[in-house]
Amino acid sequence: MDADRDINGQDRAAELAELTRWRRDLHRIPELDDELPETLAYVRSVLEGLSCEVLEPCPGALAAWFDLGRPGSVVLRTDMDALPVAERTGAAYASEHAGRMHACGHDGHMAMALGAASWVSRVVSGNAGSVSADDLPRNVLVVFQPAEETIGGAARVCASGVFGRAHAERIFGFHLWPELPAGVVASRPGALLARSSEVTAEFAGVSSHIARWREGRDALAAAARFVPSAEAMCSRLADEAGEPCLLRFGRLEAGTVRNAIAGEARAEGSLRVFSDAMSDRAREAIRGLAENAASAEGCTVELSFSEGYPPVVNDAALFALVEQALPGLAHVEEPLLIAEDFSFYQRCLPGVFLLLGTGTGTPLHADTFNFDERVLLAGVDAYRRLVLMP
Protein backbone atom coordinates (compact mmCIF):
# COMPACT_ATOMS: atom_id res chain seq x y z
CA MET A 1 0.00 0.00 0.00
CA ASP A 2 1.29 3.47 -0.89
CA ALA A 3 1.41 5.65 2.22
CA ASP A 4 1.50 8.81 0.08
CA ARG A 5 -1.53 8.39 -2.15
CA ASP A 6 -4.04 10.15 0.09
CA ILE A 7 -1.88 13.22 0.57
CA ASN A 8 -3.08 15.99 -1.74
CA GLY A 9 -1.31 19.27 -2.33
CA GLN A 10 -3.06 21.10 0.50
CA ASP A 11 -2.32 18.36 3.02
CA ARG A 12 1.29 18.28 1.86
CA ALA A 13 1.66 22.00 2.50
CA ALA A 14 0.16 21.64 5.97
CA GLU A 15 2.49 18.75 6.74
CA LEU A 16 5.52 20.75 5.63
CA ALA A 17 4.42 23.68 7.76
CA GLU A 18 4.17 21.41 10.79
CA LEU A 19 7.58 19.80 10.18
CA THR A 20 9.12 23.24 9.69
CA ARG A 21 7.62 24.56 12.90
CA TRP A 22 8.86 21.58 14.94
CA ARG A 23 12.32 21.73 13.42
CA ARG A 24 12.76 25.47 13.94
CA ASP A 25 11.34 25.44 17.46
CA LEU A 26 13.81 22.70 18.38
CA HIS A 27 16.64 24.45 16.55
CA ARG A 28 16.21 27.45 18.84
CA ILE A 29 16.74 25.42 22.03
CA PRO A 30 19.82 23.20 21.46
CA GLU A 31 20.99 21.28 24.52
CA LEU A 32 23.94 18.99 25.12
CA ASP A 33 24.52 15.39 26.11
CA ASP A 34 22.01 14.26 28.78
CA GLU A 35 20.98 17.76 29.86
CA LEU A 36 17.92 18.20 27.62
CA PRO A 37 15.10 19.63 29.78
CA GLU A 38 13.66 22.05 27.20
CA THR A 39 13.99 19.56 24.35
CA LEU A 40 12.33 16.79 26.35
CA ALA A 41 9.50 19.11 27.42
CA TYR A 42 8.90 20.15 23.81
CA VAL A 43 8.91 16.59 22.46
CA ARG A 44 6.63 15.43 25.26
CA SER A 45 4.18 18.26 24.56
CA VAL A 46 3.80 17.04 20.98
CA LEU A 47 3.60 13.34 21.84
CA GLU A 48 1.00 13.86 24.56
CA GLY A 49 -1.38 15.17 21.90
CA LEU A 50 -1.16 11.90 19.95
CA SER A 51 -2.91 8.53 20.31
CA CYS A 52 0.04 6.88 22.04
CA GLU A 53 1.46 6.13 25.45
CA VAL A 54 4.47 8.28 26.29
CA LEU A 55 7.23 6.19 27.88
CA GLU A 56 10.54 7.02 29.57
CA PRO A 57 12.75 4.02 28.70
CA CYS A 58 15.68 5.48 30.66
CA PRO A 59 16.71 8.88 32.06
CA GLY A 60 16.86 11.47 29.31
CA ALA A 61 14.89 9.43 26.76
CA LEU A 62 11.27 9.43 25.62
CA ALA A 63 9.27 7.05 23.45
CA ALA A 64 5.88 7.07 21.75
CA TRP A 65 4.27 3.63 22.08
CA PHE A 66 1.45 2.69 19.72
CA ASP A 67 0.12 -0.64 20.96
CA LEU A 68 -2.02 -2.20 18.24
CA GLY A 69 -2.10 -5.62 19.82
CA ARG A 70 0.32 -7.06 17.28
CA PRO A 71 2.82 -9.75 18.32
CA GLY A 72 5.81 -7.69 17.17
CA SER A 73 6.87 -4.05 16.84
CA VAL A 74 8.85 -1.77 14.55
CA VAL A 75 11.07 0.91 16.11
CA LEU A 76 11.91 4.35 14.71
CA ARG A 77 14.75 6.21 16.40
CA THR A 78 15.94 9.80 16.60
CA ASP A 79 18.67 11.57 18.55
CA MET A 80 18.05 14.84 20.42
CA ASP A 81 21.34 16.36 21.58
CA ALA A 82 23.18 19.27 19.96
CA LEU A 83 26.82 20.37 19.77
CA PRO A 84 28.96 22.94 21.62
CA VAL A 85 29.15 25.12 18.50
CA ALA A 86 28.44 28.87 18.27
CA GLU A 87 25.95 29.28 15.42
CA ARG A 88 26.70 31.59 12.46
CA THR A 89 23.81 30.81 10.09
CA GLY A 90 22.11 34.17 10.53
CA ALA A 91 18.76 32.37 10.46
CA ALA A 92 15.75 34.01 12.08
CA TYR A 93 15.33 30.81 14.12
CA ALA A 94 18.99 30.59 15.18
CA SER A 95 20.03 29.10 18.50
CA GLU A 96 18.96 31.01 21.59
CA HIS A 97 21.52 29.15 23.70
CA ALA A 98 24.95 30.74 23.39
CA GLY A 99 27.67 28.36 22.29
CA ARG A 100 25.25 25.57 21.38
CA MET A 101 23.83 24.59 18.02
CA HIS A 102 22.02 21.81 16.21
CA ALA A 103 24.91 21.61 13.75
CA CYS A 104 24.45 17.90 13.05
CA GLY A 105 20.80 17.94 12.01
CA HIS A 106 19.28 16.33 15.09
CA ASP A 107 16.58 19.00 15.03
CA GLY A 108 15.58 17.65 11.62
CA HIS A 109 15.79 14.07 12.86
CA MET A 110 13.39 14.89 15.70
CA ALA A 111 10.99 16.68 13.37
CA MET A 112 10.85 13.61 11.09
CA ALA A 113 10.26 11.30 14.06
CA LEU A 114 7.47 13.55 15.30
CA GLY A 115 6.03 13.58 11.79
CA ALA A 116 6.09 9.79 11.65
CA ALA A 117 4.50 9.50 15.11
CA SER A 118 1.83 12.02 14.13
CA TRP A 119 0.99 10.01 11.01
CA VAL A 120 0.76 6.74 12.99
CA SER A 121 -1.55 8.53 15.42
CA ARG A 122 -3.81 9.61 12.55
CA VAL A 123 -3.83 6.05 11.19
CA VAL A 124 -4.76 4.65 14.60
CA SER A 125 -7.49 7.28 14.97
CA GLY A 126 -8.89 6.60 11.51
CA ASN A 127 -7.89 10.00 10.11
CA ALA A 128 -5.31 8.98 7.51
CA GLY A 129 -7.47 8.54 4.44
CA SER A 130 -7.45 5.03 3.01
CA VAL A 131 -4.67 3.84 5.34
CA SER A 132 -6.18 2.28 8.46
CA ALA A 133 -4.87 0.62 11.59
CA ASP A 134 -5.52 -2.74 9.92
CA ASP A 135 -2.77 -1.88 7.42
CA LEU A 136 -0.13 -1.63 10.14
CA PRO A 137 1.52 -5.06 10.49
CA ARG A 138 3.29 -4.19 13.76
CA ASN A 139 3.03 -2.06 16.84
CA VAL A 140 5.10 1.12 16.54
CA LEU A 141 7.68 2.48 19.00
CA VAL A 142 9.27 5.88 18.26
CA VAL A 143 12.37 6.46 20.43
CA PHE A 144 13.90 9.87 21.21
CA GLN A 145 17.37 9.37 22.74
CA PRO A 146 19.97 11.67 24.33
CA ALA A 147 23.76 11.79 24.09
CA GLU A 148 24.45 10.51 20.59
CA GLU A 149 27.28 13.01 20.20
CA THR A 150 29.04 12.08 23.42
CA ILE A 151 28.57 8.92 25.47
CA GLY A 152 26.27 6.79 23.35
CA GLY A 153 22.76 7.25 24.75
CA ALA A 154 21.63 4.42 22.48
CA ALA A 155 23.42 1.89 24.67
CA ARG A 156 21.35 2.98 27.68
CA VAL A 157 18.11 2.71 25.72
CA CYS A 158 19.08 -0.85 24.77
CA ALA A 159 19.93 -1.69 28.38
CA SER A 160 16.54 -0.39 29.56
CA GLY A 161 14.78 -3.47 28.19
CA VAL A 162 12.21 -1.43 26.28
CA PHE A 163 12.77 -3.42 23.09
CA GLY A 164 12.11 -6.71 24.82
CA ARG A 165 8.93 -5.40 26.43
CA ALA A 166 7.74 -4.12 23.05
CA HIS A 167 8.76 -7.36 21.28
CA ALA A 168 10.69 -5.22 18.81
CA GLU A 169 11.62 -6.97 15.57
CA ARG A 170 13.40 -4.25 13.58
CA ILE A 171 14.64 -0.67 13.89
CA PHE A 172 15.19 2.20 11.47
CA GLY A 173 16.90 5.58 11.76
CA PHE A 174 18.02 8.54 9.66
CA HIS A 175 20.86 11.01 9.42
CA LEU A 176 20.75 14.17 7.32
CA TRP A 177 23.57 14.12 4.77
CA PRO A 178 24.79 17.31 3.03
CA GLU A 179 26.71 15.51 0.28
CA LEU A 180 23.58 13.85 -1.16
CA PRO A 181 21.11 15.73 -3.39
CA ALA A 182 18.17 17.25 -1.55
CA GLY A 183 15.51 14.68 -0.67
CA VAL A 184 17.50 11.64 -1.81
CA VAL A 185 17.39 8.67 0.59
CA ALA A 186 20.47 6.43 0.45
CA SER A 187 22.09 3.53 2.26
CA ARG A 188 23.89 0.25 1.64
CA PRO A 189 23.73 -3.33 2.95
CA GLY A 190 26.38 -4.36 5.45
CA ALA A 191 28.91 -1.84 6.77
CA LEU A 192 27.74 1.75 6.41
CA LEU A 193 29.50 3.72 9.19
CA ALA A 194 32.72 3.07 11.07
CA ARG A 195 33.63 1.80 14.50
CA SER A 196 35.26 4.68 16.36
CA SER A 197 37.80 4.61 19.15
CA GLU A 198 39.69 7.50 20.73
CA VAL A 199 43.45 6.94 20.94
CA THR A 200 45.54 8.68 23.59
CA ALA A 201 49.32 8.32 23.90
CA GLU A 202 51.01 9.92 26.93
CA PHE A 203 54.82 10.02 26.76
CA ALA A 204 56.89 10.64 29.90
CA GLY A 205 60.52 11.72 29.70
CA VAL A 206 62.92 13.97 31.60
CA SER A 207 63.02 17.72 31.08
CA SER A 208 66.31 19.59 30.85
CA HIS A 209 67.64 22.83 29.43
CA ILE A 210 68.38 22.41 25.73
CA ALA A 211 72.01 23.32 26.41
CA ARG A 212 72.18 20.12 28.49
CA TRP A 213 69.93 18.12 26.18
CA ARG A 214 71.89 14.89 26.72
CA GLU A 215 70.62 14.86 30.31
CA GLY A 216 67.00 14.99 29.14
CA ARG A 217 64.65 12.38 27.73
CA ASP A 218 62.68 14.05 24.96
CA ALA A 219 58.97 13.24 25.19
CA LEU A 220 58.17 15.62 22.33
CA ALA A 221 60.57 13.79 20.04
CA ALA A 222 59.00 10.46 21.03
CA ALA A 223 55.53 11.76 20.18
CA ALA A 224 56.82 13.23 16.93
CA ARG A 225 58.19 9.79 15.97
CA PHE A 226 54.98 8.04 16.94
CA VAL A 227 52.27 10.13 15.28
CA PRO A 228 53.30 9.89 11.60
CA SER A 229 54.46 6.28 11.92
CA ALA A 230 51.14 5.17 13.45
CA GLU A 231 49.08 7.01 10.84
CA ALA A 232 51.15 5.51 8.01
CA MET A 233 50.93 2.04 9.53
CA CYS A 234 47.11 2.14 9.56
CA SER A 235 47.12 3.18 5.90
CA ARG A 236 49.30 0.14 5.13
CA LEU A 237 46.96 -2.15 7.07
CA ALA A 238 44.04 -0.85 5.01
CA ASP A 239 45.90 -1.50 1.75
CA GLU A 240 46.95 -4.99 2.81
CA ALA A 241 43.51 -6.05 4.03
CA GLY A 242 41.45 -4.23 1.41
CA GLU A 243 39.43 -2.86 4.31
CA PRO A 244 39.34 0.72 5.63
CA CYS A 245 41.53 1.54 8.62
CA LEU A 246 41.99 5.22 9.41
CA LEU A 247 44.04 6.77 12.21
CA ARG A 248 44.55 10.51 12.50
CA PHE A 249 45.73 12.67 15.38
CA GLY A 250 44.10 16.04 15.88
CA ARG A 251 45.82 17.23 19.04
CA LEU A 252 49.44 17.13 20.26
CA GLU A 253 50.71 18.84 23.41
CA ALA A 254 54.28 18.86 24.71
CA GLY A 255 56.65 20.85 26.91
CA THR A 256 56.38 24.20 28.65
CA VAL A 257 58.98 26.52 27.06
CA ARG A 258 60.95 26.60 23.82
CA ASN A 259 64.41 26.22 25.38
CA ALA A 260 63.75 23.14 27.50
CA ILE A 261 63.47 19.48 26.52
CA ALA A 262 59.85 18.39 26.94
CA GLY A 263 59.37 16.05 29.86
CA GLU A 264 55.82 15.15 28.83
CA ALA A 265 53.84 14.89 25.61
CA ARG A 266 50.29 13.83 24.84
CA ALA A 267 48.89 12.85 21.43
CA GLU A 268 45.11 12.51 20.92
CA GLY A 269 43.61 10.87 17.86
CA SER A 270 40.79 8.73 16.53
CA LEU A 271 40.81 5.26 14.99
CA ARG A 272 38.07 4.29 12.50
CA VAL A 273 37.56 0.71 11.27
CA PHE A 274 34.67 -1.54 10.20
CA SER A 275 35.41 -4.81 11.97
CA ASP A 276 36.53 -6.07 15.37
CA ALA A 277 39.34 -8.02 13.69
CA MET A 278 40.79 -4.89 12.09
CA SER A 279 40.39 -2.99 15.35
CA ASP A 280 42.39 -5.64 17.23
CA ARG A 281 45.07 -5.71 14.55
CA ALA A 282 45.41 -1.93 14.45
CA ARG A 283 45.51 -1.56 18.23
CA GLU A 284 48.29 -4.11 18.57
CA ALA A 285 50.35 -2.39 15.88
CA ILE A 286 49.76 1.09 17.34
CA ARG A 287 50.86 -0.12 20.76
CA GLY A 288 54.09 -1.52 19.33
CA LEU A 289 54.89 1.72 17.52
CA ALA A 290 54.23 3.78 20.65
CA GLU A 291 56.55 1.64 22.71
CA ASN A 292 59.27 1.76 20.04
CA ALA A 293 59.04 5.55 19.76
CA ALA A 294 59.24 5.94 23.53
CA SER A 295 62.19 3.55 23.82
CA ALA A 296 64.12 5.35 21.07
CA GLU A 297 64.07 8.55 23.15
CA GLY A 298 64.53 6.91 26.55
CA CYS A 299 60.93 7.63 27.53
CA THR A 300 57.94 5.61 28.68
CA VAL A 301 54.42 5.67 27.25
CA GLU A 302 50.89 5.01 28.42
CA LEU A 303 48.55 4.16 25.54
CA SER A 304 44.78 3.99 25.90
CA PHE A 305 41.84 3.30 23.60
CA SER A 306 38.26 4.28 24.37
CA GLU A 307 35.56 1.68 23.87
CA GLY A 308 33.89 3.95 21.30
CA TYR A 309 30.92 3.04 19.14
CA PRO A 310 30.58 -0.22 17.18
CA PRO A 311 30.29 0.00 13.39
CA VAL A 312 26.88 0.66 11.83
CA VAL A 313 26.19 -2.55 9.89
CA ASN A 314 22.86 -2.81 8.09
CA ASP A 315 21.16 -6.20 8.32
CA ALA A 316 21.31 -7.73 4.82
CA ALA A 317 17.92 -9.48 4.92
CA LEU A 318 16.13 -6.43 6.29
CA PHE A 319 17.91 -4.19 3.79
CA ALA A 320 16.54 -6.31 0.94
CA LEU A 321 13.02 -5.60 2.21
CA VAL A 322 13.81 -1.90 2.55
CA GLU A 323 14.88 -1.78 -1.09
CA GLN A 324 11.47 -3.09 -2.08
CA ALA A 325 9.66 -0.64 0.18
CA LEU A 326 11.74 2.36 -0.99
CA PRO A 327 11.99 2.00 -4.77
CA GLY A 328 13.92 5.25 -5.13
CA LEU A 329 16.60 4.24 -2.61
CA ALA A 330 20.09 5.30 -3.75
CA HIS A 331 23.13 3.18 -2.93
CA VAL A 332 26.15 4.41 -0.97
CA GLU A 333 29.09 2.90 -2.83
CA GLU A 334 31.67 2.77 -0.01
CA PRO A 335 31.37 2.65 3.79
CA LEU A 336 31.74 6.05 5.44
CA LEU A 337 34.29 6.85 8.15
CA ILE A 338 31.97 8.72 10.52
CA ALA A 339 30.56 6.99 13.62
CA GLU A 340 27.01 6.81 15.01
CA ASP A 341 25.61 5.16 18.12
CA PHE A 342 22.71 3.68 16.11
CA SER A 343 25.16 0.77 15.98
CA PHE A 344 24.22 -0.21 19.53
CA TYR A 345 20.63 -0.79 18.43
CA GLN A 346 21.82 -3.05 15.64
CA ARG A 347 23.45 -5.27 18.26
CA CYS A 348 20.03 -5.72 19.88
CA LEU A 349 17.84 -6.27 16.81
CA PRO A 350 18.02 -6.09 13.01
CA GLY A 351 18.30 -2.52 11.83
CA VAL A 352 18.87 -0.34 8.79
CA PHE A 353 20.30 3.17 8.99
CA LEU A 354 19.54 5.61 6.18
CA LEU A 355 20.95 8.91 4.93
CA LEU A 356 18.74 11.78 3.77
CA GLY A 357 20.30 14.31 1.42
CA THR A 358 20.09 18.04 2.11
CA GLY A 359 21.99 19.04 -1.03
CA THR A 360 23.72 21.87 0.84
CA GLY A 361 27.31 20.64 0.82
CA THR A 362 27.99 22.49 4.09
CA PRO A 363 29.60 19.85 6.31
CA LEU A 364 27.99 18.47 9.43
CA HIS A 365 29.19 20.12 12.65
CA ALA A 366 29.91 23.39 10.79
CA ASP A 367 28.69 26.59 12.47
CA THR A 368 26.84 27.48 9.25
CA PHE A 369 25.07 24.13 8.77
CA ASN A 370 21.45 24.59 7.69
CA PHE A 371 18.99 23.00 5.28
CA ASP A 372 15.67 23.43 3.50
CA GLU A 373 12.93 21.72 5.55
CA ARG A 374 11.28 20.37 2.39
CA VAL A 375 13.75 17.46 2.52
CA LEU A 376 12.07 16.31 5.75
CA LEU A 377 9.00 15.30 3.77
CA ALA A 378 11.07 12.63 2.02
CA GLY A 379 12.23 11.30 5.37
CA VAL A 380 8.70 11.07 6.77
CA ASP A 381 7.51 9.42 3.55
CA ALA A 382 10.23 6.80 3.95
CA TYR A 383 9.27 6.19 7.58
CA ARG A 384 5.67 5.60 6.53
CA ARG A 385 6.69 3.04 3.96
CA LEU A 386 8.97 1.30 6.46
CA VAL A 387 6.19 1.13 9.08
CA LEU A 388 3.83 -0.39 6.50
CA MET A 389 6.47 -2.87 5.30
CA PRO A 390 5.46 -6.54 5.79
DSSP result, 311-336: PEEE-HHHHHHHHHH-TTPEEPSS-B
Give the pLDDT confidence score for residue 151 in this predicted structure: 86
Domain with CATH 3.40.630.10 in the chain: 9-193+311-388
Phi, psi for residue 129 in degrees, rounded to 5: 65, -130
Q: State the average pLDDT over residues 226-246.
A: 97
The per-residue pLDDT for 276 is 87
**pLDDT tens digit sequence for 263-314:** 999 999 999 999 989 999 999 999 999 999 999 999 999 999 998 899 999 9
pTM: 0.91
- CATH 3.30.70.360 location in the chain: 195-305
Mean pLDDT across 98-118: 98
9-28 vs 37-47: helix crossing angle, rounded to 10: 160
195-305: which CATH architecture? 2-Layer Sandwich (3.30)
Q: Catalytic site residue 149?
A: yes
Architecture of domain 9-193+311-388: 3-Layer(aba) Sandwich (3.40)
Average pLDDT (34-61) is 98
Q: Between β-strands 351-357 and 168-177, what pairing exists: parallel, antiparallel or unpaired?
A: parallel
Paired with 337 in beta bridges are none
Q: Are 353 and 187 in contact (CB under 8 A)?
A: yes
Determine the pLDDT at residue 41: 98
Examine the pLDDT at 96 and tell me if it is beyond 80. Answer: yes
What tens digit of pLDDT does each residue of 150-189 get? Answer: 988 999 999 999 999 999 999 999 999 999 999 999 999 9
pLDDT, position 11: 86
Q: Looking at 81, 107, 148, 149, which residue is catalytic?
A: 149
Residues 119 and 50: their CA atoms lie apart, in Å, by 9
pLDDT greater than 50 at residue 6: no
Instruction: Say whether pLDDT at 3 is over 90.
Output: no
Q: Which of 79, 87, 107, 381 is catalytic?
A: 79
Helix (H), strand (E) at residue 13:
helix 9-28
Instruction: Return the H-helix or E-strand segment holding 190.
Output: strand 190-193
